[in-house]
Structure 1
Amino acid sequence: MKWKLLIIFGFLLLPSLADAQCAMCRAVLESEGSQAAAKGINDGILYLMVFPYLLMGGIAFFIYRALRGKKTPAS
């Protein structure tokens, strides 16, 4: 169980290493001289991308917990 949790946590951290800009945003930001704006836009996109996954994961966890608690012992 610990390994599964560790693997899931590792996959949640993977998007922080990805480039999340669309092609149009990348072209505009690369034509600029400063790369600070591109880095900021990329970080913002990744930040906004995490919250839907956290929300769906939380909902799935509470559904799992609710269904697990309703199991009745076999007679």
Structure 2
Amino acid sequence: MKVRIFITAVFILFLSVDVEAQCAMCRAVLETEQGQSTAEGINDGIVYLMIFPYLLMAGVAYFIWKSRRKKHVEE
């Protein structure tokens, strides 16, 4: 039950934070553009690519935790 609450809290936290993930060079070039649609697209792409390593690590950590918990219960 605690795991579900933790996962839900983390998921809500990621949805509620406005993330800007541009480097200084990209930001300087993209701020000169009118409309800012390209800048928003690049931000979304960077955040999208950044999420997957965290999801993979969370999955590995979950399976390690689950296997250790199973061993502890069997003892």
TM-score (norm 2): 0.81
Shift of 1:32: 1.6
Q: 1:6 Cα deviation (Å)?
A: 2.5
In 2, Cα distance between equivalents of 1:20 and 1:38: 10
Partner of residue 13 from structure 1, selected from 12, 15, 39:
15
The equivalent of 2:23 in structure 1 is 22
Separation in 2, partners of 1:55, 1:14: 21
State how far apart, in whole Å, the 1-side matches of 2:34 and 2:65 are.
50
The runs of 5 or more residues in structure 2 that have no matched partner are none
Superposition misfits of 4+ residues, deviation over 3 angstroms: none
CA displacement 1:21-55 (0-9 Å, x = unmatched): 11111100001223111111011001001000000
2:20 counterpart SS class: coil
1:60 aligns with 2:27: no
Unaligned runs of 5+ in 1: none
Task: Give the SS at the match of 1:70.
Answer: helix
> What TM-score, normalized to structure 1?
0.81
- Could you tell me how far apart the structure 2 residues matched to 1:14 and 1:60 are? 24
Q: Secondary structure at the match of 2:21?
A: coil
How far, CA to CA, are the matches of 1:37 and 1:5 in structure 2? 32
Distance 1:5 1:38 in 2: 30
The two structures, once aligned, show a CA RMSD in angstroms of 1.7
